[in-house]
Structure 1
Amino acid sequence: MTAHISAQPGDIAETVLMPGDPLRAKWIAETYLTDPVCYSSVRNMYGFTGDYRGHRISVQGSGMGMPSASIYTHELLAEYGVKTVVRVGSAGAITERLALRDVVAGIGAASDSNMNRIRFDGIVDYAPVADFGLLRDAVDVAAEQGVTAHVGQLLSSDVFYTDRPDMYQRLAGYGVLAVEMEAAAMYTLAAKFGARALALVTISDHLVHETHLSSEERQSSFAEMVEIALAAVTR
């Protein structure tokens, strides 16, 4: 067991879906997995393992923000032999190219965090990117399901309530599609441990139009994204 995950060796599958919300992890497990077993509830950050169409899959909550996501991603990859992590969460659109409910596959993740600057002694601006094969599978699956998956760069921010909304406009001008809070850390750790990572996010808030989905709409939109993720990791 690790400090934050109470699983025993072998309890966790090599492929893990990672929503931020632990209750969302519970919902995914109970909705999509056959015979899901809860392997951890430390700090109420639930983790489950079950079967999805003949494939062993785990779902682990990551919490909000890169510090929390880094803890769970690191322990999964370093201590439990996980080979594939897929973030399934929400994001805020910062460009007119997107609408509410759209699905975005993050090819890379810019960040305002100092985590990688510290990691590389301030010498290198490391560019965290997704696993290309996993990204391609997700986009192909989305097309097969009649869903347009927008592929582009995300912003992984340390700040939810920003004092610099003008920065979003500048980033959008450089092709960044949406802002979220975890992908850059997950991509970096996957690279460190030789694993695959992808962030799939649903647009729940539009920061240009100042609109957002209701809780009911978030639930239905989230399901579409989860189904793409599950199909992609089991191809």
Structure 2
Amino acid sequence: MTIHIDAAPGDIAETVLLPGDPYRAKWAAEHFLSDVRQVNAVRGMLGFTGFWQGHRVTFQGSGMGMPSLSIYVNELIRTYDAQTLIRIGSCGAMQSHVGLRDVILAMTATTLSSPSASIFRDVNFAPCADWSLLRAAAAAAESHDVPTHVGGIYSSDTFYDERPDLNEQMVRHGILGVEMEAAELYTLAARYGRRALAVLTVSDHLETGEALHHDLRERSFSDMVEIALEAAFAE
């Protein structure tokens, strides 16, 4: 057990999928896993472990933002020895050719700051995805005929952003979308020698103002989970 996860030793699988919303963790576990049981409920941040096609998997909510995700990923790695960690969540598109419901596979994650930023001093560390996961996720997305984009994203530490000038530079430099967690996930994975990837569904568009209805978000989330699971266990 840890401060934020009350799972017993052995309750957490080596492969962990991390939606920000704990109720998405519950939904995904119920729809994709067999022999499911709840393994965490501390502070309502639900976690579930079960089996997908014979492979043991945990879905664990990580909360919103890099500080929250950092807590859960540190504990999942350091106490429960998680080896593969895949963020599954939504993002806002920043490029005109990226559409609603498209999937973004984050090859790199740019950020202004993160919980890990202070340890690098003057170095601008470049967090990136695990290549084997990225390659497998791209192949899975193609096999499911899901519109997919691979490239850099921006992990923001603010949701209600008041820096339009910064967004303009992200767009100018080809950043595909914005979310709030992946840069810290990739940094922690690098620190501890683990595999990490962010598989993201575009739920809204910063340029057009479009946004998905709740029902469509759920359907798109299903595509994203399938891609993440296939990537995690690709041979």
Give the TM bin, normalised by the shorter chain: over 0.9
2:80 match: 80
1:20 match: 20
TM superposition outliers: structure 1 runs of 4+ over 6 Å: none
5 Å matches for 1:138-157?
138-157=137-156
Deviation at 1:116, TM superposition (A): 3.5
Q: Structure 1 residues 26 and 209, CA, compared in 2 at 3 Å: closer, same or farther?
A: same
Query: 1:113-165, CA deviations, whole angstroms, 9 ceiling, x for partnerless residues?
Result: 25343121x22111110000100000001111112320011100001111112
The answer as to whether partners of 2:108 and 2:127 remain within 8 angstroms in 1 is yes
2:206 is the counterpart of 1:207: yes
SS at match of 1:229: helix
1:115 match: 115
5 Å matches for 1:51-130?
51-120=51-120, 122-130=121-129
2:221 match: 222
2: distance between equivalents of 1:167 and 1:151?
21
The answer as to whether partners of 2:26 and 2:46 remain within 8 angstroms in 1 is yes
**Letter paired with 1:141:** A
2: distance between equivalents of 1:118 and 1:191?
16
Deviation at 1:168, TM superposition (A): 1.2
2:159 match: 160
Query: 1:164-206, CA deviations, whole angstroms, 9 ceiling, x for partnerless residues?
Result: 1231121111111100000000000011111000000000010
Larger mean Cα displacement after TM superposition, 161-170 or 215-224? 161-170
1: distance between equivalents of 2:116 and 2:14?
26
1: distance between equivalents of 2:181 and 2:227?
19
Gaps of 5+ in 2: none
Deviation at 1:221, TM superposition (A): 0.8
Q: TM-score, normalised by structure 1?
A: 0.98
Q: What is the number of equivalent residue pairs in this alignment?
A: 234
Gaps of 5+ in 1: none
The answer as to whether partners of 1:94 and 1:169 remain within 8 angstroms in 2 is no
Q: TM-score, normalised by structure 2?
A: 0.98
1: distance between equivalents of 2:25 and 2:96?
30
| Seq. identity, % | 51
The answer as to whether partners of 2:153 and 2:175 remain within 8 angstroms in 1 is yes
**Letter paired with 2:32:** Y
The answer as to whether partners of 1:116 and 1:126 remain within 8 angstroms in 2 is no
SS at match of 1:126: coil
Deviation at 1:25, TM superposition (A): 0.1
Query: 1:93-121, CA deviations, whole angstroms, 9 ceiling, x for partnerless residues?
Result: 1111201001000001000225343121x
Deviation at 1:232, TM superposition (A): 1.1
The answer as to whether partners of 1:16 and 1:60 remain within 8 angstroms in 2 is yes
5 Å matches for 1:178-189?
178-189=177-188
1: distance between equivalents of 2:92 and 2:23?
21
Query: 1:35-75, CA deviations, whole angstroms, 9 ceiling, x for partnerless residues?
Result: 11111100000111000001001100000000000000110
2: distance between equivalents of 1:100 and 1:64?
21
2: distance between equivalents of 1:93 and 1:193?
30
2: distance between equivalents of 1:81 and 1:116?
20
